[in-house]
Structure 1
Amino acid sequence: MAPANLRQLPTLDNLKGFVAAARHLSFTKAALELSLSQSAVSRQVQGLEEQLGTALFLRTTRQLRLTPAGELLYRNASDMLARLAAVVDDIASAGQRPRVTVSASIGFSALWLVPRLSDFQGLHPDIGVRLSADNRRVDLEAEDVDVAIRYCTAVNAPAGSLKLFDEVLLPVASPALAASLPAGPALNGANLPSLTLLALEDGSDYPGLRWENWLDPLGLSATQAKGLLQFNHYDQCIAAALAGHGAALGRLPLIRDRLGEGRLVPLAPPRDSADGHGYYLLRAPGGQRPEVARFVAWLQAVATRESSADAIIPDHA
């Protein structure tokens, strides 16, 4: 094919204005797409028609229609611009680091994932991570998410998901609050009137996170507590416990490091969730990119290490 005479080709702006107008059969809609005024698009098309020496549109008071010459140019120009846009995207993306988009609940993100991301970045500095923290269950394909962490029972776990770890719970408080309790650091009838209960109340039905599961076996009621504070995000509940505002139901996978550091102390031995909830990893269909595989492998390795038999669970005093 002979090389094109670039001086004879229309300007790119005029071609873009024409293709947009031809796609919508409207100068107004083309102007909105290109963020231009209607008169600017009209001038682009008029300039193209003058250069080609032929009309590209039939203009009436009610509608815009392509002439045969306009239809021929639109078919070829739209295809050319689409291929040019694809090349530009490929060149631009080649200069960017690969990225993994992760969806997780706000509580899991704040308490577990964010503190550990520096470990992943140290191992894979060439891979970027975009964290989408949301308690809403996202559609991975529709919202361009590579990996999601789901909190659910095994029965409700999505097909193809992998369990990271089980839910394990225990009541916790700050060291200062625990030391001030009249009967020592324990959840019992003698201490309950001195405790404010910190509870998650976000509209979700998670029976295992209810205080009744701990109080009923002891013959106690939340009405006997000093007070009740409710939060719609779990990380707020733990922040209040760290600040000494009361006792929270600690989710061991999410607060293990705070227990290990002595920033929280247990008021009873840990036990598995009464309703069988756990944390599951779900990868988007077709998410086989190398950076996604590396992030998934890292996530599984950390989860296995932290839930292994030799992982430290602080003793209950």
Structure 2
Amino acid sequence: MRISPLPPLPCLVAFESAMRHGSFTRAASELHLTQSAISRQVAQLEHFLGKKLFIREPRALRLTVSGQAYAEEVQRLLAACAEATEDVMKRKGHGELTVACSSGVAVLWLTPRLPAFRAAHPDVHLRLLVNDSLASLAPAEFDVGMYYLREGPPPGLASRRLYDEEVFPVCAPHYLGGRQLAPAELAGETLLTLEDGQRQWMSWQTWLARNGVADARAPRKLVANQYPILLQLAMEGQGIALGWRHMIDRCLRERLLVRASEASATLGGGYYAVWPQARAEGAAARLFRNWLAQQSTAEQ
């Protein structure tokens, strides 16, 4: 059902404020606009209605008969809209939080750290949304996200860089018997490879090229479409995977994985906190964003 006729919302807001203050100047101050902008919006509304709403006197505004009747309805409807909006925000909750991230971030970085966040903020009701493609998520689906990005976030999202990218090969401690290989030697090993659809991430071919190995064609590859699976295969001694610093730090500390080479590479990307740019931020989202920033600062 199309709602018609419906005037522009900014015009209604300007009219309501001017009516309440009896002044375009004071309405402009309240709405952080210029006096001329308020005057234009009210004039636009009058043109839309085909009725004069104000009698403009030298030092004051006075409502016309039509303006008085319209003002009562507009004020009631705007108040109801504001109340309904506040109710939805409260229901979604200053204590409710949807966090979006890739499977790699969820398994390797976020899950081990969440107990500390939940212990510090027990009133936050957390929902974890795992999706490897940030571009496929609508801003309405989440409050805060953590993703690897090469060139900044998609339109409609704000961002803060948390970690710089550093990529190096890793394997199980027994796989190379404690040896580390030069980049050219790695091409002869079984390379655990993220499938072509995940091109936001660095590929083996790119990593080898960045380390001076041109046109390297690995004779043996094992391909998977999720990064945590590749790391699990590496832990089981099935080959060598590319490891992203900060994501795999815990695996290195616990000796589940070791570096297979001293060489590393970067494409200039990094891990970012992202959030919807146009939405009013709830208390839980603000807490989580600040917590992400604190975690990254402590681990640099």
Map of 1:48 onto structure 2? none
- Residue 119 of structure 1, CA deviation: 1.4
Q: What is the CA–CA distance in structure 1 between the aligned matches of 2:212 and 2:250, rounded to whole Å? A: 28
Q: Is the 8 A contact 1:140 1:148 kept in 2?
A: no
Q: 1:133 aligns with which of 116, 130, 133?
A: 130
Q: Is the 8 A contact 1:157 1:280 kept in 2?
A: no
Does 1:286 find its partner at 2:279?
Answer: yes
Residues 119-130 of structure 1 mapped to structure 2, 5 A cutoff: 119-130=116-127
- Taking structure 1 as the reference length, the TM-score comes to 0.59
- Which string of whole-angstrom CA distances, capped at 9 and with x for unpartnered residues, describes residues 7-62 of structure 1? xxxxxxxxxxxxxxxxxxxxxxxxxxxxxxxxxxxxxxxxxxxxxxxxxxxxxxxx
Q: 1:115 aligns with which of 85, 102, 112?
A: 112
For the residue of structure 1 that corresponds to 2:248, the secondary structure is helix
Map of 1:185 onto structure 2? 180
Residues 266-285 of structure 1 mapped to structure 2, 5 A cutoff: 266-269=259-262, 271-273=264-266, 275-284=267-276, 285=278
- Residue 298 of structure 1, CA deviation: 0.8
Map of 1:213 onto structure 2? 207
Q: What is the CA–CA distance in structure 2 between the aligned matches of 1:129 and 1:294, rounded to whole Å? A: 12
Q: Is the 8 A contact 1:150 1:281 kept in 2?
A: yes
For the residue of structure 1 that corresponds to 2:158, the secondary structure is coil
Map of 2:147 onto structure 1? 150
Larger radius of gyration: 1
Map of 2:246 onto structure 1? 253
Q: 2:234 aligns with which of 215, 233, 241?
A: 241
- Residue 177 of structure 1, CA deviation: 0.3
Map of 1:314 onto structure 2? none
Going from structure 1 to structure 2, the CA distance change for 1:174 and 1:287 (only over 3 Å counts) comes to farther
Q: What is the CA–CA distance in structure 2 between the aligned matches of 1:254 and 1:189, rounded to whole Å? A: 25
Q: What is the CA–CA distance in structure 2 between the aligned matches of 1:207 and 1:146, rounded to whole Å? A: 24
Q: 1:171 aligns with which of 140, 165, 169?
A: 169
Q: What is the CA–CA distance in structure 2 between the aligned matches of 1:125 and 1:224, rounded to whole Å? A: 49
Q: Is the 8 A contact 1:173 1:266 kept in 2?
A: yes
Which runs of 5 or more structure 2 residues have no equivalent in the other structure? 1-76
Q: What is the CA–CA distance in structure 2 between the aligned matches of 1:270 and 1:214, rounded to whole Å? A: 10
Going from structure 1 to structure 2, the CA distance change for 1:230 and 1:114 (only over 3 Å counts) comes to same
Map of 1:198 onto structure 2? 192
For the residue of structure 1 that corresponds to 2:100, the secondary structure is strand
Q: Is the 8 A contact 1:168 1:270 kept in 2?
A: no
Going from structure 1 to structure 2, the CA distance change for 1:207 and 1:105 (only over 3 Å counts) comes to closer
Which runs of 5 or more structure 1 residues have no equivalent in the other structure? 1-78, 309-317
Map of 1:103 onto structure 2? 100
Q: 2:294 aligns with which of 285, 296, 301?
A: 301
Q: How large is the RMSD of aligned CA atoms in angstroms?
A: 3.1
AA paired with 1:162?
A: R
- Residue 224 of structure 1, CA deviation: 4.9
Q: What is the CA–CA distance in structure 1 between the aligned matches of 2:183 and 2:150, rounded to whole Å? A: 29
AA paired with 2:199?
A: D
AA paired with 1:296?
A: R
- Residue 146 of structure 1, CA deviation: 0.5
Q: What is the CA–CA distance in structure 1 between the aligned matches of 2:298 and 2:130, rounded to whole Å? A: 24
- Residue 163 of structure 1, CA deviation: 0.5
Q: Is the 8 A contact 2:94 2:282 kept in 1?
A: no
AA paired with 2:279?
A: G
- Residue 188 of structure 1, CA deviation: 4.9
